[in-house]
């Protein structure tokens, strides 16, 4: 029996060490792609022509553009074009706001002081 | 001879007691270790749960703020179209064009140029210096 006790050594009386479990929170980093190059739009010109100004317009138009060849658009057509452009602008703006929303949503959380 | 028997019995009793004590000690140590491990696991789980709850609360606040901002910006995007609709309602373009063709021509061309510039800025171009 004393032999048995001696053979078990000091390992029998070792201290119980506390178990340390660490959980480290790793924040996801989602890279945001670069925005496309900005557009460069060229200017264009609308001529307003009435029966009274038609002759003067012809001369002016020829002088500015060479040939007397043009695409005509009615007042209603112009209004529609303007409204369509406004709708497109609104759509682009809203899409961009959604992109900004997602960019902010995936951005790393600022640490509170 | 009797002495030897008594010695054997005493040694047996003492040995048994020591072994019992040793077994009890060993078993208790094992239990303590298991309980310590369990406590550590529970503490970790609790901490993790707290972190998760806090993150969820922060996320909820962040998304509520972002949503509010998005809704306001989405509504602001309607501004240009609303202003244009009001202008077209307010002015009879046909009548005005017949009366003042050069003025209307200047106005619509300036408006078109302005729209083009705003689209450029919207795509990321720097706004023109005033």
The pLDDT tens digits for A11-63 are 555 565 666 666 676 777 888 888 899 999 999 999 999 999 999 999 999 99
CA distance A62 to chain B (A): 17
In whole angstroms, what is the distance from residue A40 CA to residue B24 CA?
86
pLDDT for position B15: 93
Which residues of chain B make contact with A38, given a CB cutoff of 8 A? 120, 123-125
**CB–CB contact B118 A89 (8 Å):** yes
Residue whose token pair is 């706004």: B127
Interface test mutation site (partner A, options B47, B116, B126, max chain A beta carbons within 10 A): B116
B45 touches chain A (CB under 8 A): no
Q: Give ipTM to 2 decimals.
A: 0.71
Distance of alpha carbon B53 from alpha carbon A15, whole angstroms:
36
B1 Cα to chain A: minimum distance (Å): 22
How many contacts, defined by CB atoms under 8 Å, are there between A and B?
Answer: 127
Q: Per the CB < 8 Å rule, is A23 touching B119? A: no
Length of chain A: 113
Of A22, A50, A105, the CB nearest to B101: A50
pLDDT digits (tens, 9 = 90+) for A59-113: 999 999 999 999 999 999 999 999 999 999 999 999 999 999 999 888 877 765 5
Chain B CB contacts of A41 below 8 Å: 116-117, 119-120
**Dist. CA B127–CA A22, nearest whole Å:** 51
Distances (CA, A) of B65 to B53, B60, B62, B77: 18, 9, 5, 18
Interacting residues of B47 by C-beta distance below 8 A, sequence separation 6+: A23
Between A111 and B117, whose confidence is greater?
Answer: B117
What pTM value is reported for the model? 0.70
Domain boundaries, chain B: 7-77, 78-124
Rg (CA), chain B: 44
């Amino acid at each position: 029996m004393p032999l048995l006790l001696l053979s078990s050594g000091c390992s029998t009386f070792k201290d119980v060490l506390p178990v340390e479990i660490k959980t480290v929170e790793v924040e996801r980093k989602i890279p945001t792609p670069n925005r496309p190059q900005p557009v460069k739009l060229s200017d264009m010109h609308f001529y307003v022509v009435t029966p009274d100004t038609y002759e003067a317009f012809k001369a002016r138009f020829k002088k500015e553009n060479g040939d007397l060849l043009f695409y005509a658009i009615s007042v209603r057509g112009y209004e529609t074009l303007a409204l369509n452009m406004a709708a497109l602008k609104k759509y682009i703006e809203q899409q961009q706001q959604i992109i900004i929303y997602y960019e902010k949503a995936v951005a790393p959380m600022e640490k509170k002081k | 001879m009797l002495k030897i028997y008594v010695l054997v019995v005493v040694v047996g009793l003492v040995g048994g007691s020591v072994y019992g004590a040793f077994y009890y000690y060993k078993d208790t140590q094992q239990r303590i270790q298991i309980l310590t491990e369990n406590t550590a696991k529970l503490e970790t789980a609790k901490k993790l749960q707290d972190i998760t709850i806090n993150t969820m609360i922060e996320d909820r606040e962040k998304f509520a703020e972002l949503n509010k901002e998005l809704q306001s910006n989405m509504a602001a995007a309607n501004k240009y179209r609303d202003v244009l609709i009001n202008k077209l309602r307010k002015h009879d373009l046909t009548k005005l064009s017949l009366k003042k063709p050069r003025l209307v021509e200047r106005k619509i061309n300036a408006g078109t140029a302005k729209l083009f510039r705003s689209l450029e800025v919207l795509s990321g171009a720097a706004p023109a210096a005033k």
